[in-house]
Amino acid sequence: MPRSHRLSDLPEEYRTEAWIKSCIRHEEHRGVHTYHRCDCDRHDCRSWMCAECWRGVLAELEEQS
Q: What is the mean pLDDT of residues 8-25?
A: 93
Predicted pLDDT at 3 = 60
State the amino acid at position 46 in one-letter form. R
Q: Which residues does residue 37 pair with via DSSP β-bridges, in sequence order? A: 44
pLDDT(37) > 80: yes
Q: What are the phi and psi torsion angles at 35 (to 5°)?
A: -115, 160
- Please state the pTM of the whole predicted model: 0.84
Band (31; pLDDT cuts 50, 70, 90)? confident
